[in-house]
Amino acid sequence: MIRLYSIPPSLYSAKVRIVLRAKGLAFEDIQPPGGYGSDAYREIVPSGTLPAIEHDGFLLVESEAINEYLNELVPEPALLPRDMGQRAQARALSRFHDTRLEPAVRALFAHVDPDRRDTDFVAGQALVIADRLAQLERMANPSPLLTGETLSLADCGYPITLTFLEMLNRPMDLGVVLPDAVAAYFEALKREPSIAWELDSYRPALAAWVGSVTGTPA
């Protein structure tokens, strides 16, 4: 049994749960003892970061490393292409999410509350996000997913970030429109069973949070 340390709002924990379910792996999902960043949790996971997994006495942190480990632990279904160049591209697209798109969306979180919102910052950040999405459209050619017809590690971060963006777009008046190829990709992601399962629980919790902060149903 794999033990996953996570908290419900953690995007990167969701990214790992998608892979666990895609691989058909049984896992125990638990919150860090004492809370995120607590001394008690650091006794188990020295970095204090989420997500983390324990598997047969082996401890691992960082969602990218965890998902690579899970992909090797259970070889089928393979979540990376067999071709070396395509595997490298899949990793590059996953890193684009983690280092370019997701941080641009995350920067909005401190401004969700209308009473604390810097409207100039939000307007500028909406332009940054639109640019990141345009870059993704030029870099990738989803058919319908990033490496072809089946789910890969490249895909696993995008559904949660795009859901965050979808939820924040109207209440924050972002005016961000997904490029056609990215919109079609998002719809294809939602049809993946492991992603649909994750979004079934993630979306209501996220909508409740956005609504509670903004006073507007998401």
pTM of the model: 0.94
Collapsing DSSP to helix, strand or coil, 50 comes out as: coil
Q: Tell whether the model's pLDDT for residue 218 goes beyond 60.
A: no
Give the domain-ending residue among 53, 73, 93: 73
What's 32's DSSP letter?
P
Identify the pLDDT of residue 32.
95
In a domain, 79, yes or no: no
* Mutual angle of helices 180-190 and 158-169, in 10-degree steps: 110
Among 39, 73, 107, the domain boundary falls at: 73
One-letter amino acid at 213 equals V
- Is 209 inside any structural domain? yes
Nearest-angstrom CA–CA distance, 188 and 184: 6
pLDDT at 37: 84
- 161 near 97, Cβ under 8 Å? yes
% of the chain beyond a pLDDT of 70: 98
What is the pLDDT, as a whole number, of residue 217?
61
